[in-house]
Amino acid sequence: MDKSKQHLVVLTGAGISAESGLKTFRDADGLWMGYNIYEVASPAGFKANPSLVLDFYNMRRKDVANAVPNAAHIGLVELEKDFKVTIITQNIDDLHERAGSTNVLHLHGEIFKMRSVRSASKIYDILDNILPGDLAEDGGQLRPHIVWFDEQVTKIPEAQLIVSTADIFVVVGTSLQVYPAAGLLNYAQPGVPIYVIDKTNPLAYSNRNSHFMEMAATQGVKVLANILALS
């Protein structure tokens, strides 16, 4: 098969952005340390203390703005020369886009977008801070366009369909412990090669078509590119 016609689907997680200086969700010294997750990442937490939640994401927005794409992000862009590449990311940063990836689906929202608490469909760009009292056109308080705990991941059906069309499925920098994203592995068609790149070598869906690379994202994407070039 002509490689240019092959669909390479990549699921990325926090590990790919960690090498750009963005702390991961589950690291011992990670971003969430010192915070009760539900205080800063749930509708109930936002209702109880909107200022805390807005401050938390305002800080994250600054961190992302100061970060730059790393070799793993850039390596995935380079694969577009030979493959149709679709990236499904659990990350809320925009490093894939800034690296040059042309087809990115954000499962859990985007840090540079905001929406009204009254409507998930009215979405606005945001580069600075969101403050208490900042209102959308419908009069609702503006909040980060992030999927919090106890909220549905509305992009999952679209992601499942994308994975089902993959000729090659790659997982980069995710522990495969966060659902429903981790369940996307099950939507790859039988016989599709699966490559999992993560420092923790997670326990994942396994069959004879699975290949596990226990390494950081930057190294793993480089190794993957060499493997695909020879296949």
CB atoms within 10 A of CB 209: 14
3-state DSSP call for residue 71? helix
Provide the H-helix boundaries in the chain: 14-18, 37-40, 43-48, 50-66, 71-78, 95-99, 156-164, 217-230
Residue 197 — φ and ψ, nearest 5°?
A: -115, 115
Closest CA to 210 of 223, 201, 219: 201
Nearest to 129 by CA among 59, 29, 196, 44: 59
**Annotation says 108 is catalytic:** yes
Which one from 73, 106, 108, 145 is the annotated catalytic residue? 108
Preceding amide of 180 cis, omega within 30: yes
Cα distance between residue 197 and residue 192, in whole Å:
16
Catalytic residues: 108
